[in-house]
Structure 1
Amino acid sequence: MITGHKDGRFTEMHLDTFVDFAASQGSAQAADEPFDMLIVSLDVTGNVAVVKVTDHYIGHDFIDYLALLKKDGQWRIYNKLWHSGPLT
């Protein structure tokens, strides 16, 4: 599940819906925009991890929290929470 707040509005969508939406937006490269993502923090305990990233996407600045799980030797994003808009 992809869940977050954009400009004070709560948004929740299933992974398939988010993937379709992201694919419809095209890449930063195709839009002749720089790719802008920064890993702010990474916390790993055993086979679980939480990553905080900042990124600029579709004209907005986002803060994403990604919950990861290591399964069969590969890290996978299990959940994504995000925020865009004022930080209050």
Structure 2
Amino acid sequence: MKKLFTGIMILLTLTAIAQSAKEDYEAIAETVNYYLIGGTNNDFETLSKAFHSEANMTYLNADGYQQVNALEFFKKGMKPGPAQNRKTRIVSIDATGHAAQAKLEIEYDTFYFHDYMQLLKIDGEWKIISKTFYKQNK
């Protein structure tokens, strides 16, 4: 009887962990989709839901290593207008506890952006705290 009780408790614990992981995966996907959908539609309000206010963005350009506040960068560069002609997808999501990372791909006619997002679950809400990206020509 004791073994049966222990087995049931282990099963219930594993089920709860699996359910929690599924809920986190879905919440992380929702967060990164705010970024993808907002960017596609030139909608800063939607995009900004994905980021922590102090999130940084790092990248390399002709001037070398760059680090900027992500929201300031997008607010300055995003202009209202028609939706962009691009395809987006979530390549992967990996989460442990309150930390996660997501790899995203954004495809334009002549190039791809490969985005690597670091996220934290802050006050019960997943937020992007860091974005690093690479632009790959086709």
Q: When the two structures are superposed, what TM-score results if normalisation uses the length of structure 1?
A: 0.72
> Quick one: distance in 2 between partners of 1:56 and 1:7?
22
Looking at secondary structure, tell me which structure has more helix per residue. 2
Other-structure match for 1:80 = 131
Q: Does the aligned pair in 2 maintain the 1:6–1:83 contact within 8 Å? A: no
Q: Give 1:53's match in structure 2, choosing from 100, 104, 107.
A: 104
1:67–1:79 CA contact under 8 A, matched in 2: yes
Give 1:46 shift.
0.3
Aligned residue identity for 2:128: I
Give the alignment partner of residue 67 of structure 2, picking from 12, 16, 24: 12
TM-score by length of 2: 0.49
Deviation at 1:8, TM superposition (A): 8.8
Quote how far apart the aligned CAs of 1:77 are: 0.4
> One-letter code of the match for 1:67?
Q
Deviations along 1:37-70, one digit per CA (max 9) or x if unpaired, are 111111100011000000136x641000000000
Q: Which stretches in structure 1 are left out of the alignment for 5+ residues?
A: none
- Unaligned 5+ residue runs, structure 2? 1-55
Aligned to 2:95: 44
Paired with 1:31 and 1:69, the residues of 2 have a C-alpha distance of 29
CA RMSD of aligned residues (A): 2.6
Identify if the C-alpha distance between structure 1 residues 9 and 50 changes in structure 2 by more than 3 Å, giving closer, same or farther.
Answer: same
Match of 1:63 in 2: 114
> Number of matched residues?
81
**Structure possessing the higher relative contact order (Cα contacts under 8 Å, 6 or more residues apart):** 1
Structure with the higher strand share, 1 or 2: 1
Greater than 4 Å deviation, 4+ residue runs: 6-9
Matched to 1:2, the amino acid is M
Q: Hey, what's the Cα distance between the residues in 2 that align with 1:45 and 1:9?
A: 32
Q: Which has the larger radius of gyration?
A: 2
